[in-house]
Amino acid sequence: MTPVPVVVDCDAETDDAIAILLAALHPGLGLLGVSTASADEAVAVRALVARGGLDVAVHPGVEWLVAALREAAEPVTLVTTGPLTNLAAALAADRSLTGSVGRLVVLGGTHREPGVTPYADRNVWSDPHAAATVLAAPFRDQLLVTADATASVALDDADLARLRALGTPAARAAAELAATRLERGARVHDPLAVAALVEPGLLTTLRAGGPGGVRRPDDVRRHAVRRRARRAARPGVGGGRRRQGGVPRSALRDPRPSTRLNTATNSC
């Protein structure tokens, strides 16, 4: 089987490194490269991945990402495991880049599992304008791997022991990196976005706005308006001038998603 060409755009958390180890080592995937928003993140990611015995090129800024997509000989699967800052900047430079992406998998969003806000995980919350730009772009196939999915597969000590028992440098490093997250319930979010590529049955997906209760952005906006109206009606509450749950209103101002937008809501 010809490996699927993959680009990972990430930030510099421990689970990004595990996702990259998986993308680099799985025989069904061909990792073309990794991009980050900043040089500091690139250095940090490379160091984290090196703990698994791999030397992976990590490119800061948007220039490499644009070139990699423009020059791809076949459609690329693009996985984002950080804020969507880089990808939005790439689209601003060249919106036709969507044609180079066969599939976009975004680790982001949430439906029922609380994120930073009821509707935004940290990746979306960190740069909501970028998220809005990306979700409005005409990618042919978009999948959001949401916090609902990653919360359902939090790891425990037994899981990490099984990972260590594989005995490879990458497996041991992944276990050690995941162990640093145990105090947070060992939610190892980012590898799930890569795992979705190699285990198609791993995630249950819902079409955005379709049956099953997935809220479309329009519904989210209406809900936010109702909440603001209720807050404004309460005595002593600042109402409409206050931020909604601490998030800028722009985070709720999502454009309509592509009709192909799918969203993973649970897994395993």
Q: Which residues are catalytic?
A: 189
> Are 6 and 197 in contact, with CB atoms under 8 Å apart?
yes
DSSP state of 215: P
If the CB atoms of residues 18 and 101 are measured against Ca ion, the closer one turns out to be 18
Question: Least distance in Å: CB of 17 to Ca ion?
Answer: 9
Tell whether residue 41 is a contact of Ca ion (CB under 5 A): no
Which CA distances in Å does 217 have to 2, 119, 173, 212?
37, 10, 39, 15
Q: Which residue has the tokens 């790891």?
A: 155
Question: Least distance in Å: CB of 90 to Ca ion?
Answer: 18
Which CA distances in Å does 226 have to 153, 209, 220, 222, 223?
33, 19, 10, 6, 5
> Hey, is 226 helix, strand or coil?
helix
Interface segment toward Ca ion; rule CB under 5 A; list 60-68, 78-86, 223-231, 251-259 = 78-86
If the CB atoms of residues 10 and 224 are measured against Ca ion, the closer one turns out to be 10
Tell whether residue 254 is a contact of Ca ion (CB under 5 A): no
If the CB atoms of residues 52 and 82 are measured against Ca ion, the closer one turns out to be 82
If the CB atoms of residues 16 and 254 are measured against Ca ion, the closer one turns out to be 16
Q: Which of 81, 86, 117, 146 binds Ca ion (CB under 5 A)?
A: 81
If the CB atoms of residues 36 and 81 are measured against Ca ion, the closer one turns out to be 81
Q: Which of 7, 9, 13, 194 binds Ca ion (CB under 5 A)?
A: 13
Q: Which of 82, 83, 191, 257 binds Ca ion (CB under 5 A)?
A: 82
Rounded CA gap, 201 and 225, in Å? Answer: 37
Tell whether residue 11 is a contact of Ca ion (CB under 5 A): yes
Question: Least distance in Å: CB of 242 to Ca ion?
Answer: 29
77 Cβ neighbours under 8 A, 6+ residues apart: 4, 5, 6, 7, 101, 102, 103, 104, 105, 197
Question: Least distance in Å: CB of 125 to Ca ion?
Answer: 13
CB atoms within 10 A of CB 90: 29
Pick out residues in 181-240 that bind Ca ion (CB under 5 A): 190
Residue type, 206: L
Residues that bind Ca ion (CB under 5 A): 11, 13, 16, 81-82, 190
